[in-house]
């Protein structure tokens, strides 16, 4: 039986674009069961390399990722999706990371990293991503480096 994959809509925003999305992001975080204080929004406005990528299916916001360029590396800072039962969590994580990589490719980055302790790292690993290097000793806040394994 063929799979009925729903089309997704991916959108990209800079720090200023986040302001118009505060309420929908808060609703998404609440539905995903994560902290919905959105304290990171104020720091996003101060970061010139900040990017937000959202994914929606059938008009419903179902995930987002935030990233910054940090020392030439693209660092994913937040990755939030609705529960797997609602939209297929691992697929959404992979879709968001792919979209962040495409947006972050201008300007080019050296390495894709995630903030240390990112809770969604396990979901990324289940969807084919692997940690290839720990955080650099001189910059532990850079977080581990990731690479997508070929399928």
pLDDT over 50 (residue 119): yes
Q: How do the domains of the chain map onto residue ranges? A: 8-148
Q: What pLDDT, in 10s, does the model give residues 3-24?
A: 344 567 788 887 777 888 889 9
Task: Write the secondary structure of the chain as one string of H (helix), E (strand) and C (coil).
Answer: CCCCCCCEEEEEECHHHHHHHHHHHHHHHHHHCCCCCCCHHHHHHHCCCCEEEEEEECCEEEEEEEEEEECCEEEEEEEEECCHHHHCHHHHHHHHHHHHHHHHCCCCCCCEEECCCCCCHHHHHHCCEEEEECCCCCCHHHCCEEEECCC
Q: What pLDDT, in 10s, does the model give residues 20-58?
A: 888 999 999 998 888 777 888 888 778 888 888 998 887
Among 53-57, 119-123, 129-133, which is the least confidently predicted range?
A: 119-123
CATH number of the 8-148 domain? 3.40.630.30
């Amino acid at each position: 039986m063929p799979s009925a994959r729903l089309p997704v809509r991916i959108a990209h925003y800079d720090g200023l674009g986040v302001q118009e999305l505060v309420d929908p992001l808060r609703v998404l975080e609440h539905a995903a069961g994560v902290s919905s204080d959105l304290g990171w929004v104020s720091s996003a406005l101060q970061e010139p390399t900040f990017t937000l990528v959202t994914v929606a299916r059938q008009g419903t916001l179902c995930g987002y990722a935030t990233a910054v360029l940090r020392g030439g590396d693209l660092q994913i800072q937040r990755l939030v999706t609705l529960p797997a039962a609602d939209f297929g969590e691992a697929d959404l994580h992979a879709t968001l990371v792919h979209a962040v990589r495409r947006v972050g490719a201008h300007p080019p980055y050296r390495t894709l990293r995630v903030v240390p302790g990112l809770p969604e790292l396990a979901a990324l690993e289940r969807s084919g991503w692997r940690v290839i290097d720990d955080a650099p000793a001189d910059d532990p806040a850079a977080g581990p480096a990731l690479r997508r394994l070929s399928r």
